[in-house]
Structures are given as C-alpha cells and as structure tokens.
Amino acid sequence: MTTVLKAEDLRKQFGELTAVDNVSIEIDDGNITSIIGPNGAGKTTFYNLLTGVLQPTTGSIWLRSGVEDDLADVTDAEPHQVAQAGLSRSYQITNIFEGLTVRENVRVARISHEGTRLDFRSRATGDESVEADVEELLDLTGLTHIADTPCDTLSHGEKRTVEIALALAIEPNVFLMDEPTAGMNPTEVAEIVSLIRELDADLDTTFVVTEHNMDVVTDISDRIVVLAEGAILADGTPEDVLTDERVTEAYLGSDSA
Ligand SMILES: Nc1ncnc2c1ncn2[C@@H]1O[C@H](COP(=O)(O)OP(=O)(O)OP(=O)(O)O)[C@@H](O)[C@H]1O
C-alpha cells in the first residue's frame, strides 16, 4: 500500500482552545478510512486543515497527486491549490448550480477542471473528450437517468449524489466525504452506501469519510480513526475500534448519538 495523504504533528489552536491536538496520521490507498468522533472532537477542523480552508498552528500536510507522484508538502496551499493537487471534498453544504441540469452541473465542473489542467499542465483537450468524461461521470454515479433534470427539482439524496459527481470531476487521488448520508432517509442512505462501495471498487481514488451514522461507518470502513478532544483516541479495524472501551466512553461522555 502507498501513503496518499499524511499529517504530521498537526495542531490547530483557536485562542486557548486546541481543536486539533498534534495529530499524526497516514492514509493509504486501497482503503476506506472513516474519521469519527463525538461532537466537537475536531473532525471539521481537521478536514478544514487538510483542504487548506484553515492554516495549521503547527505541523505539516503531505499529499500524493497520483500514482507516479511523490508526496508533496501542501501545508501552506490554498483550497484551490489543494484541489488541483488531487484532494477533493464533498461538502454538507451544497455547491450545486440549482438552475442548471445535472449534466450541465457536471459539465461546468469538468470544464473548469480542464481549464486548470490547461493552465498548469499544458494538456489540450477537445469538447468531445469533455463530453465523454461528463457521460462517464454521470454513469459512474448513477445519474444518467436524471441527467436532464434541473437540480432545483432533485431530492436531497439526488443532490448529494450530484455533489459527489462534481467532486469526482477533478479526478481526485483522495476524496474527503463530509457526512455523505446527513439528512438522508433510510432508502437514500442505502443507495449512497452502495454508491461509495462501487466508486471505491471502480476508481483508483482513496476515500476518507466523516460520518455520524455508525451503521454506515461499520458498513463501509476498512479502517476507523476516532478523534476525541482533538487527538487520535483509537485507530484500527471496525471490529477493534468499535469494541474499544475508551471509544464507548468518549461517546457516552458527549451528547453525540
Ligand atoms: N473558528 C473557530 N473558532 C473557535 N473555535 C472553533 C472554531 N471552529 C471550531 N471551533 C471549536 O473547535 C472544537 C472542534 O470543533 P469541530 O467543529 O472541528 O468538531 P467536530 O468534530 O467537527 O464536531 P461536530 O461533529 O459537532 O461537527 C470545538 O470545541 C469547536 O467549538
């Protein structure tokens, strides 16, 4: 296995509060890793550090853009630079153009990525190649049947799936999924879980998931990392981590589900 994302002694201080407390972690390809923890554990702050939304107080972040690339230091990179370097994130807050159809949204995301590739890698691509990529993304995410539907008429679950397609449009080496099942009904949860499994099997992309629904976490994770009070409390297989008494205590001691 190869390390695709690495944090070294990562720390984020908000005044007196240490939201992320000297976290060191290596994420390997070929695994789905879930990062869980009770409310206020530091998950969102950790994601914001990894994606360049926040700057760490101390520590460093390293990212591998592709199989042939070395780990590169992205500690000081802006969010768009982190995305160009191969780290994509699906937000709980929607970033879809509501007035456009599903296909048009995917096309915009794809063209904007092609634009950055033209700028940064001088690789020319034609319209046909963009259209083929758009259809492939729609197919991969199971959105072809609603490709011509305006996004403002989609269900919540369908919109979350469009967000996944948009995040995949940049061909990420690592995909951070921010609570992929938040606000979904049980049918939508089952559908998104099977989509994540399929994408993991079909793509070289490595998936890292934060998720409050423990059934989903148990279902999809090869590895679970538990954050509590900003630090790593447990790290291992679902069997080991979810039977760890320290993990149960951390959850019981909070108001999280
Ligand atoms: N911008 C900020 N300024 C000050 N404190 C913050 C800021 N962002 C987060 N915090 C604090 O940092 C700690 C970690 O918050 P964070 O949102 O990262 O936790 P979380 O694990 O994502 O929680 P949840 O599961 O409830 O979303 C909390 O005590 C929170 O109040």
Structural domains of the chain in order of their starting residue, each with its CATH number: 1-86+174-257 (3.40.50.300), 94-171 (no CATH)
Residues 167-190, mean pLDDT to the nearest whole number: 93
Residues 143-167, mean pLDDT to the nearest whole number: 95
**What is the reported pLDDT for 67?**
80
For residue 73, give both structure tokens.
Answer: 């230091």
Strand ranges for 65-112 from DSSP E: 71-73, 87-90
Report how far ligand 1's centroid is from the alpha carbon of 56 (Å). 14
Answer yes or no: is pLDDT of 156 > 50: yes
pTM of the model: 0.90
Answer yes or no: is pLDDT of 256 > 70: no
Burial class (CB in 10 A: 0-12, 13-18, 19+), 64: buried
Ligand 1 contact, 120 CB (< 6 A): no
ipTM above 0.95, yes or no: yes
- State which ligand 1 atom lies nearest to the alpha carbon of 45: 18
Number of separate helices (H) and strands (E) present in the chain? 9, 10
Residues 35-50, mean pLDDT to the nearest whole number: 95
Question: Which residue CA neighbors atom 12 of ligand 1 most closely?
Answer: 19
Closest-CA residue to 71 (of 59, 83, 85):
85
Kindly indicate the confidence band of residue 129, based on its pLDDT and cuts at 50, 70 and 90: confident
Question: Which residue CA neighbors atom 10 of ligand 1 most closely?
Answer: 19
Answer yes or no: is pLDDT of 125 > 60: no
Instruction: Specify the range with the lowest mean pLDDT, choosing from 36-40, 128-132, 153-157, 216-220.
Output: 128-132
Answer yes or no: is pLDDT of 112 > 50: yes
Cα separation, 47 vs 42, in Å, equals 9
Residues of the chain with pLDDT > 70, as a percent, come to 92
Residues 207-221, mean pLDDT to the nearest whole number: 95
Cα separation, 174 vs 4, in Å, equals 7
Report how far ligand 1's centroid is from the alpha carbon of 247 (Å). 19
Instruction: Return the higher-pLDDT residue of 111 and 150.
Output: 150
Ligand 1 contact, 37 CB (< 6 A): yes
